[in-house]
Amino acid sequence: MIQLSRLVSTGLLVSAMAFSAHASDDVQAQLIDKFQQGQYSGKGADGCLMCHGRDEQVTALFASPHGSLDTSASPMAKLQCETCHGPQGKHRGKNEPMINFGDEANVSAELQNSVCLSCHEDTERRDWHGSRHDFSEVACTDCHQIHTADDPVLSPAGEIATCTSCHSSEAADMMKRSAHPMAGQHSGSDMSCTSCHSAHGSLTESALKEVSLNDTCYSCHAEKRGPVVWEHAPVTDNCASCHSVHGSVNDAMLTRRAPQLCQSCHASDGHASRVYDGQSNAFVSGQSCLNCHSQVHGSNHPAGSLLEK
């Protein structure tokens, strides 16, 4: 009873309060009432397995961290199945509901997540509330598989597959000829979406892990950080001014090829504004503007004001 009262007074009571604030149908109303009454089974998982023991998706729990008895933090070490699915009450078959998750969810994503966060709301997930995924009503079980020994989203390749199942535009960019070496697409790479983004939310734009886009890029491209004697303004301002961060059909993930990219800012700069007249010349052939201005990320040369050296 001490363990039960402690659990109800912390995580599960938070879930019950969330249910009460958002309940909008009969199923959720029943679940609120069950939480408040706290009619937990005396048999725990043994009672559940009398009916559900032949379901492989259910029994796979015991191979997962959630089904472990080796740690007191595991749901199985607390109220077992009822830690997540709520008190059994009068549940027998379909006569009284339990909380379901995933494809068979019978409550909103917010209410499902309140159960998960009763244990998992730590420093890595402190920014979940108000995050883009939270506002989009993404449930934890939309990405995570609970009843399994190895949650696919926890591997780099599995994570990419999970993220791109929703983020189709970024998935298309990642398949372009110039893109980051993502896991599963490039041998030996373990780069994944969370190399740059925090899936559980952050205080920065696009849920970036660093304080800005440039700092995120510098975590790998430190040689571009500077400071340098002669700075190129777009570089210090925003890497995405020139680069398409998820992939591009142009070299170096550029948003446009030179000289068009350069002329989007330098169109009035003398020779840079010349129109291609059909003849091969230094302004459009080879590396175009980079034939001369090769240090586009900045120069430390005393005579590098034009980013030529």
Domain end marker among 114, 132, 149: 149
Q: Which residue, among 211, 189, 184, 182, has the nearest Cα to 198 in the 3D structure?
A: 211
Residue 7 has pLDDT above 80, yes or no: no
User: What DSSP state is assigned to residue 72?
Assistant: T
Domain end marker among 122, 149, 176: 149
Q: Could you tell me if residue 23 is inside a domain? A: no
Q: How does residue 3 score in pLDDT terms, banded at 50, 70 and 90?
A: very low
User: What DSSP state is assigned to residue 12?
Assistant: I
Q: Which residue, among 117, 85, 119, 81, has the nearest Cα to 101 in the 3D structure?
A: 85
Are the C-beta atoms of 285 and 279 separated by less than 8 Å?
no
Q: Could you tell me if residue 181 is inside a domain? A: no
Residue 131 has pLDDT above 60, yes or no: yes
Q: Could you tell me if residue 167 is inside a domain? A: no
> How many percent of the chain have pLDDT more than 90?
63
- Domain hosting residue 130, numbered range: 55-149
Q: How does residue 17 score in pLDDT terms, banded at 50, 70 and 90?
A: very low
Q: Could you tell me if residue 136 is inside a domain? A: yes
Q: Which residue, among 123, 120, 165, has the nearest Cα to 142 in the 3D structure?
A: 165
Q: Could you tell me if residue 19 is inside a domain? A: no
How crowded is residue 148: how many other Cβ atoms within 10 Å of its Cβ? 16
How many domains is the chain partitioned into structurally? 2
Q: Could you tell me if residue 275 is inside a domain? A: yes
pLDDT tens-place string over residues 68-108: 989 888 999 999 999 999 999 888 877 788 999 988 888 88
> How many percent of the chain have pLDDT more than 70?
87
* Mean pLDDT along residues 101-121: 91
Distance CA(246)–CA(244), nearest Å, equals 6
Helical ranges in the chain per DSSP H: 2-7, 13-22, 26-37, 45-52, 56-59, 81-85, 109-120, 132-135, 140-143, 156-164, 168-174, 213-218, 233-237, 260-266
The two tokens of residue 13 are 């009571």
Q: Which residue, among 247, 256, 245, has the nearest Cα to 220 in the 3D structure?
A: 245
pLDDT tens-place string over residues 264-308: 888 766 665 565 555 656 667 778 888 889 999 999 999 999 999
pTM: 0.82
Distance CA(33)–CA(24), nearest Å, equals 13
pLDDT tens-place string over residues 140-196: 999 999 999 999 999 999 999 999 999 999 999 999 999 999 998 888 999 999 999
Q: What is the structure's pLDDT at 22? A: 44
Q: Could you tell me if residue 186 is inside a domain? A: no
Domain end marker among 149, 178, 203: 149
Q: Could you tell me if residue 120 is inside a domain? A: yes
| Packed helices 109-120 and 13-22: angle between N→C axes, nearest 10 degrees | 160
